[in-house]
Structure 1
């Protein structure tokens, strides 16, 4: 699994790189604030929901969760790879790293 950091994620956003950002936390956490542009697919539901929300298995997908200690995004990335998704990245720092860099969340 390939990981990316905040700098890389911000660079992709500023360059307009085409990717899907997936928040793997529960819906209530997503509703309280998530990275701008993210969609919410709870990690435990990724096997069932991925085909609906992520129909292109060659799309660039970035998954994240609460922090580097959170295991949800890593599990989601592994599950997506098992489903045949070819370009999945794990933003390990998650919300904590995003906020630590002074970046805003979206409601």
Structure 2
């Protein structure tokens, strides 16, 4: 009786793996188009470490779209180069290019332009984004905003890529 129960349990567990896509023999596993999670894991770990070190918050694409539609008082800063911004950006966003590496790599001119866009009201909500999850430009901007004394600082993880994939309005 115990053998039969154990056998049924093994069949049930293997069936669950097969039907949920968690089977090691599934042709595509996980979120990566090619089935490899290594690059996604590396990007995720870096993203989480940057977020924790920066002390800012995250906002989902869906929630930011709600804020935009509700006309919530906020400033949205696109940190991509001007030519990328011109091709398409989140409605209402302003542009201040920042480096894709670290704040230490930002020029004085880049920092000054970004800080100017922030304005004087430290209580306003600031949302910073770049191109995609692994892009660090938005981390640079969020860290800079926090250093300037802004408390409500958010980073949009997927940037303009997730915004466009969600088929939300894009300004040009």
Calculate the TM-score normalised by the size of structure 1.
Answer: 0.91
Corresponding position: 1:96 with 2:164: no
Once superposed, which parts of structure 1, at least 4 consecutive aligned residues long, lie more than 4 Å away? Answer: none
Corresponding position: 1:75 with 2:140: yes
Secondary structure of 1:31's match? helix
- Identify the match of residue 12 of structure 1 among 67, 83, 87: 67
Higher relative helix content: 2
* Alignment correspondent of 2:17: none
Output the CA distance in 1 between the equivalents of 2:143 and 2:128.
10
Higher relative strand content: 1
Per-residue CA deviation, residues 7-47 of structure 1 (Å, 9 max, x unaligned), is: 110111222211111000011111111111100011231x2
Corresponding position: 1:49 with 2:104: no
What stretches of structure 2 of length at least 5 have no aligned partner?
A: 1-55, 99-105
Secondary structure of 1:85's match? coil
Aligned residue-pair number: 106
- The structure with higher relative contact order (CA 8 Å, sep 6+) is 1
Aligned residues of 2:65 and 2:168 also touching (Cα < 8 A): no
Output the CA distance in 1 between the equivalents of 2:134 and 2:83.
19
Calculate the TM-score normalised by the size of structure 2.
Answer: 0.58
What stretches of structure 1 of length at least 5 have no aligned partner?
A: none
- Who wins on radius of gyration, i.e. which is larger? 2
Secondary structure of 1:61's match? strand
